[in-house]
C-alpha cells in the first residue's frame, strides 16, 4: 500500500464523516419511534385527569304520565223553559252564584193564568153536575124501594152520578195541570251553582224546543276532569292495579273502577293546582275509532278557581323499583343515540351506548347499556377521549330527586 492510499484510509473525507453522522442520527430516531428505547413504566407515569365520576346504582323511580283533560262541574244543569212564552224578567246576571230554589227567569204569566181560570170554571160546572146527579139519585132511590118506579130508573141515575163524578175528577186534573204550567212561568234554580252565559234577552220568545238553553247552571264546588288514555296505557294501568293491590287506597282489586290513584293537575297557565284528585270512574268501552278509553278524576274546588270548560294537564304517577338512574350531564348525544363515558378497571375512559326510557329534571332512566356498579364520568366529557387516564372523584347524588316522567 502506498502512502497516499494509507493516508486516505486513516483520514476520511469530512463529507463522508458528515454523512455517517446524519445516517446514525436518523437510525436512532427511527428506533425511538418504534419504542425500542421506551421505558416500560412510562405509561404508569402518564398524567391522569381528575374528573367527577358516579357509581351506578339502582333506585326507586316515579314515572309520571301526562294526559290532557277537560274540566266540568260535578253538577252541570241546562236551564230550559218547560212552557212557551215571552221572557218577561231576568233576575240574575251571568256569573252570579245562586242557591237552590232562587228565582232566575220569569215568563209572561197572563195566558197561563187565563187557562187556569178556565179550568177552574169547568171544574165548578162539573161540581154542579155532580151535585145534580147526587140529588136525582137520592130522589129516585126511595121510589124504587117502594116499587113506585122500576129499578131501571135507579140504575140510570146511579150511572149519571158516576159520570158526573168522573167528569169532575177530569176537570180537577185540568186545574192542577194549568196550575203547574202557571208555576213553570217562574224558573228557579234546581241546584246551587254559577250562572253561565244567558243568550236570551227580555222580550224574546222562549220554548222547551229551543236548540240552546236559556243558561247553564254549574256547581263547581267539586269538579270532574275527563281525560283519554290509550289502550296500551290502559292495560298497563290495569296490570299495575292488580299487582299492587290498590295500595294507595286499599280498595277491592276485582274491578278497575274501584282503583282510585291520586293524581295532580297542571292548570292552563302552567301552575300546579293546590289539591290532589282521584280517578274514580272509567268508561265501559274503548273507542274503536281512536283506540282510547275515557277516565274521570274528581278534584275539590272550594276556592272556586276551576270552571266548567277549563282545560289542564293531568299527571298520573307510577312507582317502579330497581331502576338505574344517572345524571343527565353524564350523557352526550351523537345523532339519535345517547352515550356515556364509562371508566374501566384500569381507570381509563371508554364510550358506552345506552338506552333511555324516562327522565327527571336532572336524571335519566337507563334500561340498556349500564348495570349496577359501573362507574361513569359526569363532567369534562369534552376534555377526554377513548383510553384517557382518569383520576376519579366520586360524587354522592343520593339526595337528588328520583321522580321521573316518561319520554
Q: What does the pLDDT look like over 61-100, one tens digit per residue?
A: 777 788 999 998 888 899 999 999 999 999 999 989 999 9
State pLDDT tens for residues 21-32: 545 555 544 444
C-alpha to C-alpha distance for 223 and 233, rounded to whole angstroms: 24
Predicted local distance difference test score (pLDDT) of residue 36: 43
Q: Are 61 and 407 in contact (CB under 8 A)?
A: no
**pLDDT surpasses 50 at 259:** no
The band of 309, judged by pLDDT with boundaries at 50, 70 and 90, is confident
Is residue 132 left, alpha or beta, with left meaning phi > 0 and alpha meaning psi from -120 to 50? alpha
Predicted local distance difference test score (pLDDT) of residue 248: 38
Q: What whole-number percentage of the chain has pLDDT above 90?
A: 43
**pLDDT surpasses 70 at 144:** yes
- Please check whether the domain covering 79-215 is classified as CATH 2.40.50.100: yes
Predicted local distance difference test score (pLDDT) of residue 246: 44
Q: Are 63 and 317 in contact (CB under 8 A)?
A: yes
Nearest 5°: CA angle at 52, between 382 and 325? 95
Residue 37 to residues 23, 26, 116, 397, Cα–Cα distance (Å): 18, 14, 123, 46
**For the chain, how are helix, strand and coil distributed in percent, rounded to 5?**
30, 35, 35
Predicted local distance difference test score (pLDDT) of residue 46: 62
Predicted local distance difference test score (pLDDT) of residue 48: 83
**pLDDT surpasses 90 at 8:** no
In the structure grid, which three cell numbers stand for residue 81, read together?
223553559
**DSSP secondary-structure letter at 204?**
-
Predicted local distance difference test score (pLDDT) of residue 19: 52
Segment 195-223 mean pLDDT: 92
Predicted local distance difference test score (pLDDT) of residue 172: 95
Most confident of 55-69, 183-197, 361-375: 183-197
**pLDDT surpasses 50 at 242:** yes
C-alpha to C-alpha distance for 397 and 54, rounded to whole angstroms: 8
**pLDDT surpasses 50 at 392:** yes
Residue appearing with cell numbers 272509567: 282
Phi, then psi, of 108 in degrees rounded to 5? -50, 125
Predicted local distance difference test score (pLDDT) of residue 24: 53
In the structure grid, which three cell numbers stand for residue 223, read together?
269538579
In the structure grid, which three cell numbers stand for residue 16, read together?
463522508
**Chain-wide mean pLDDT for the chain?**
81
State pLDDT tens for residues 260-282: 568 899 998 989 999 999 888 88
Residue appearing with cell numbers 282503583: 259
**pLDDT surpasses 80 at 5:** no
**pLDDT surpasses 70 at 351:** yes
Distance of CA 262 to the CA centre of its chain: 11
**Lowest mean pLDDT segment, chosen from 205-214, 235-244, 260-269:** 235-244
C-alpha to C-alpha distance for 239 and 234, rounded to whole angstroms: 9
Q: Tell me, which fold does domain 65-73+220-318 have in CATH?
A: Elongation Factor Tu (Ef-tu); domain 3 (2.40.30)
Predicted local distance difference test score (pLDDT) of residue 32: 46
C-alpha to C-alpha distance for 72 and 180, rounded to whole angstroms: 32
**CATH class, 49-64+321-406 region:** mainly beta
Predicted local distance difference test score (pLDDT) of residue 358: 78
Between residues 304 and 197, the one the model is more confident about:
197
Q: How many helices and strands, by DSSP H and E, does the chain display? A: 5, 20
The band of 397, judged by pLDDT with boundaries at 50, 70 and 90, is low
Predicted local distance difference test score (pLDDT) of residue 233: 80
Distance of CA 141 to the CA centre of its chain: 80
C-alpha to C-alpha distance for 387 and 51, rounded to whole angstroms: 14
The band of 45, judged by pLDDT with boundaries at 50, 70 and 90, is low
Segment 194-223 mean pLDDT: 92
Q: Would the CATH topology of 49-64+321-406 be identical to that of 79-215? A: no
Q: Which helix (H) or strand (E) holds 187?
A: strand 186-188
C-alpha to C-alpha distance for 322 and 402, rounded to whole angstroms: 12
The sheet with strand 103-107 has its strands ordered as 186-188, 103-107, 85-90, 205-206
**pLDDT surpasses 80 at 39:** no
C-alpha to C-alpha distance for 121 and 118, rounded to whole angstroms: 5
CB atoms within 10 A of CB 71: 23
Q: What is the pTM of this model?
A: 0.58
**Lowest mean pLDDT segment, chosen from 92-106, 206-220, 281-295:** 281-295
Domain boundaries, the chain: 49-64+321-406, 65-73+220-318, 79-215
Predicted local distance difference test score (pLDDT) of residue 264: 92
Is residue 101 left, alpha or beta, with left meaning phi > 0 and alpha meaning psi from -120 to 50? left
C-alpha to C-alpha distance for 292 and 280, rounded to whole angstroms: 17
C-alpha to C-alpha distance for 352 and 324, rounded to whole angstroms: 15
The band of 307, judged by pLDDT with boundaries at 50, 70 and 90, is confident
SS3 10: helix
**pLDDT surpasses 80 at 125:** yes
The set of residues, in sequence order, having a beta carbon less than 8 Å from that of 236 and lying 6+ positions away, is none
Amino acid at each position: 500500500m502506498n502512502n497516499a492510499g494509507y493516508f486516505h484510509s486513516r483520514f476520511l473525507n469530512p463529507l463522508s464523516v458528515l454523512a455517517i453522522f446524519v445516517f446514525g442520527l436518523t437510525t436512532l430516531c427511527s428506533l425511538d419511534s418504534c419504542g425500542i428505547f421506551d421505558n416500560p413504566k412510562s405509561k404508569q407515569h402518564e398524567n391522569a385527569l381528575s374528573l367527577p365520576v358516579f357509581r351506578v346504582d339502582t333506585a326507586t323511580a316515579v314515572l309520571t304520565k301526562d294526559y290532557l283533560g277537560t274540566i266540568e262541574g260535578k253538577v252541570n244543569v241546562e236551564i230550559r223553559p218547560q212552557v212557551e212564552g215571552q221572557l218577561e224578567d231576568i233576575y240574575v246576571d251571568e256569573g252570579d252564584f245562586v242557591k237552590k230554589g232562587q228565582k232566575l227567569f220569569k215568563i209572561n204569566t197572563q195566558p197561563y193564568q187565563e187557562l187556569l181560570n178556565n179550568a177552574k170554571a169547568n171544574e165548578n160546572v162539573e161540581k154542579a153536575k155532580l151535585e145534580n146527579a147526587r140529588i136525582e139519585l137520592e130522589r129516585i132511590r126511595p121510589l124504587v124501594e117502594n116499587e113506585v118506579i122500576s129499578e131501571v130508573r135507579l140504575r140510570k141515575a146511579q150511572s149519571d152520578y158516576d159520570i158526573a163524578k168522573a167528569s169532575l175528577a177530569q176537570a180537577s186534573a185540568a186545574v192542577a195541570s194549568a196550575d203547574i204550567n202557571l208555576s213553570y212561568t217562574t224558573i228557579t234554580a234546581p241546584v246551587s251553582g254559577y250562572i253561565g252565559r244567558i243568550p236570551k234577552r227580555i222580550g224574546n220568545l222562549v220554548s222547551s224546543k229551543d236548540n240552546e238553553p236559556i243558561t247553564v247552571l254549574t256547581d263547581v264546588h267539586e269538579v270532574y276532569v275527563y281525560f283519554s288514555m290509550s289502550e296500551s296505557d290502559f292495560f298497563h294501568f290495569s296490570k299495575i292495579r292488580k299487582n299492587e293491590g290498590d295500595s294507595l287506597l286499599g280498595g277491592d282489586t276485582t274491578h278497575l273502577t274501584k282503583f282510585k290513584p291520586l293524581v295532580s293537575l297542571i292548570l292552563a297557565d302552567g301552575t300546579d293546582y293546590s289539591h290532589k284528585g282521584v280517578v274514580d270512574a272509567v268508561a265501559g268501552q274503548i273507542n274503536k275509532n281512536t283506540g282510547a278509553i275515557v277516565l274521570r278524576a274528581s278534584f275539590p274546588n272550594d276556592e272556586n278557581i276551576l270552571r266548567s270548560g277549563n282545560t289542564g294537564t293531568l299527571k298520573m304517577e307510577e312507582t317502579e323499583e330497581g331502576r338505574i338512574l344517572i345524571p343527565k350531564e353524564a350523557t352526550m348525544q351523537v345523532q339519535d343515540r345517547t352515550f356515556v363515558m364509562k371508566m374501566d378497571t384500569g381507570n381509563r375512559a371508554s364510550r358506552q351506548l345506552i338506552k333511555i326510557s324516562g327522565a327527571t329534571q336532572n336524571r335519566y332512566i337507563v334500561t340498556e347499556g349500564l348495570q349496577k356498579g359501573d362507574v361513569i364520568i359526569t363532567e369534562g366529557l369534552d376534555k377526554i377521549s377513548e383510553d384517557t387516564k382518569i383520576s376519579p372523584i366520586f360524587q354522592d347524588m343520593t339526595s337528588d330527586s328520583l321522580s321521573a316522567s316518561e319520554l
